[in-house]
Structure 1
């Protein structure tokens, strides 16, 4: 389901217990933050850069 622009939503890939949850807000830029620290830092991407980043994550380029 596509989320409305500017609204924070929890990633569908976040764990059920929210140990590693992130939230994403899509608009003119794409913001990503830690669900457990909503007042903390966030990453901000252009939509094109976020697409590249998400593809790299899905491809395992940042695997621990």
Structure 2
């Protein structure tokens, strides 16, 4: 089931450096899932990932998993 994201508080990556909205945004406060959207299209669709797969993705992106 997709959570209601109408009141989501979105935040950009700390690595975005305030660039031209070419960022991924995530919303906190949704137990067990991580909503993700494209900052260039805030009214567009959001993807919702399980918290564990999202953590593995981030660790891999940081080079912590080989």
The interval holding the TM-score normalised by the smaller chain is 0.5 to 0.7
Which stretches of structure 1, 4 residues or more, deviate above 4 A after TM superposition? none
Structure 1 unaligned blocks of 5 or more:
1-5, 60-64
Q: Per-residue deviation at 1:19? A: 4.8
**Structure with the largest fraction of helix:** 1
Q: Which residue of 1 aligns with 2:10?
A: 8
CA RMSD of the aligned region, Å?
2.1
- Say which one has the larger Rg: 2
Task: Work out whether residues 32 and 43 of structure 1, in 8 Å CA contact, stay in contact via their aligned partners in 2.
Answer: yes
Q: How does 1:1-64 map to 2 (within 5 A)?
A: 6-26=8-28, 27-28=30-31, 29-59=33-63
Partner-residue secondary structure (3-state), 2:36: strand
TM-score (normalizing by structure 2): 0.65
Structure 2 unaligned blocks of 5 or more:
1-7
